[in-house]
Amino acid sequence: MDDQIPLLVAGSWEVGDAPLEVRNPYDGSLFTTTSYATPDQVERAVAAAHAAREAAAALPLHARADTLIRISRKLEERADDFVHVITSENGKPVTWARAEVGRAVSVFRWAAEETRRWSGETIRLDTDRAAEGRMAYVSRVPKGPVLAISPFNFPLNLVAHKVAPALAVGAPVVLKPAPKTPISALLLARVIARVMRKSDLPDGMLSVVNVENERASDLVRDPRLPVVSFTGSGPVGTAIQAAVPGKHVVLELGGNAAAVVCADWDSEPDLARAAERIAAFSNYQAGQSCIGVQRVYAVDTVYDTLRERVVAAVKTLGTGDPKDPATHVGPMIDEAAARRVEDWVGEAVARGARVLTGGGRQGSTYAPTVLEDVPPDAKVVREEVFGPVLVLERVASTDEAFARVNDSRYGLQAGVFTHDLQTAFRAHRELEVGGVVIGDVPSFRADQMPYGGTKESGVGREGVRSTMTDLTYERVLVLTGLSL
C-alpha cells in the first residue's frame, strides 16, 4: 500500500492534515495510513457534487451503464487486492472477504443492467372525457447529490450499494466511509475515478473523504446534499433523521434477527441443514452483521435434536488469524467491541443463562457462543449483540415463536424453517420485518432484492433498483392536443 492513502476530492487525489491510522483488528498491527479531510477539502467535495448535479442528471443512459459495467469488470480484475484490504482492515476471514468482493462486482453489474432498463412510462389520460387528447409521460429524476455514510462491517459491498445506484440515476455522491475501514472505499474510488475519467463524467460525481464522526453533523446538515443514506447504529441514525427533517433520509440500522424452526422441519436432513446454517450465520463476520442469526425459537418437538446439532456445528468453527483459510470466525472490529460482548454474555449468565459452548474472549476475538435459558429481557435478547452469540429458546408452538420474533423493537429480517406453504404465507403476513426467508436463516440477502426493515431497523430500501427508486422522484410531462 502507499505510504499514505490519499482521499478523492472532486477528481483530485489529496492528503488531509491529520493522519488516520488503520490497524488490523486481529493483532493491532498498523496496516496503512490515510488522513482526515480538511474543512476546505470537505467543502470542495460538496461544492463539486452540487455543481455537477445537472450534468450528472443529464448523462445519457448508455454513458452511465457503460461506466458501471467497466467498474464491475475492473473490480473483478482486482479482486485479490480488495480481499487483502478487507481482511487487513476489517479482520474478515478471507473466505468471507472474497464473497464480499464477489457481491460488490455483482452490484455494479446489476446497476448497469438496471440503468439500461431505467425508462419512463406513458399514460393515456383520455380515460376521462375532460382529458381527451392528453397523454402523460412520467420519468424519474434524481433528488440531488447524496451524502453516503457507510459502516465498517461490509467496507466494500455496502459502499457499492450506495455508490452504484447513485451513479445509475445520475446523482453525485460524497462518501464518508467508516473511520475503522476506509481503505476499501478509497481503493474502490481509484477504480471508479479511472473509469469516470475515460468516460468523461464530471469530477464531482464522486468524492471519498474521511471525516471524524464528531464533525459529520456538518455534512449531514449541508443543504447541498439533499439525500442522506446512512448504514450503522440506531442511535446515530435516529439523530440524523431528527437533525434534518426536511431531507430525504435512508437508514439501514440494526437488528436482532430471529430464526424459527417449526415442528414439520423434523427429518434428520432438515435438522442437520438448519443447524449448519444457524451455526454458520450466527458467527459469520464474527457476528457483526445486522441480519446475523441472534435468536432461535424452536418448537419443543425438534428443540433437543436441534440444540445438540447446533452446538456441535458451532464447536467446529475455527477462530484465529483471518488470513488463514481455515479461519471461519475472525476478530471483532476492535477489543472494545469484544469486551462489550463479553460483558453482555456475563450479564446473562449472572441471571441464569447457561453457556452451551464458547463464552471466552482473547483480545479482539470472541469465541462462537451458544446460550440457553436466557432471561427474555437480557441484553443478548433485547439488543443487537453484533457479535458471535446465539440464543436458543424452546417454544410450544409456531404461534409462540412468531410472537417472540415480533417482541422486539427491531424488524429487519426473519428466517422460518418450514415446508408448509400456509405457514410460509402466514409468516410473511404476520412477522413485523422487512423480509422473511423460508427454509433458511434470516441472513440471506440477494443484492438485487429490496432490503430494509421496519420499527427501529430503519427506513427506506436498498437493493439496486429499490435504491434507484429511492434516490429519485417522479416528474410528469402532460402532452395536450394529441390524436390518440
450479564: which residue's cell?
347
Catalytic residue among 290, 335, 342, 384: 290
Q: Is 344 helix (H, G, I), strand (E, B) or coil?
A: helix
Query: What's the distance, CA 9 to chain centroid?
Result: 24
Q: How far apart are CA 342 and CA 361, in angstroms?
A: 7
Annotation marks residue 262 as catalytic: no
Q: How far apart are CA 376 and CA 160, in angstroms?
A: 37
The answer to whether 302 and 266 have CB atoms below 8 angstroms apart is: yes
Beta pairing, strands 435-438 & 413-417: parallel
Q: Of 192, 155, 143, 197, whose CA–CA distance to 285 is shortest? A: 155
The answer to whether 84 and 1 have CB atoms below 8 angstroms apart is: no
Q: Of 22, 327, 9, whose CA–CA distance to 155 is shortest? A: 22
Catalytic residue among 89, 100, 114, 252: 252
Using the Cα atoms of residue 436, residue 441, residue 447 and residue 453 in order, give the sign of their dihedral: positive
List CB contacts of 334: < 8 A, sequence separation 6 or more.
Answer: 25, 180, 364
Q: Which residues pair with 390 in a beta bridge?
A: 370
Annotation marks residue 121 as catalytic: no
Q: How far apart are CA 162 and CA 75, in angstroms?
A: 16
Crossing angle of helices 61-77 and 94-116, rounded to 10° = 160
The answer to whether 41 and 16 have CB atoms below 8 angstroms apart is: yes
Q: Which residues are catalytic?
A: 252, 290
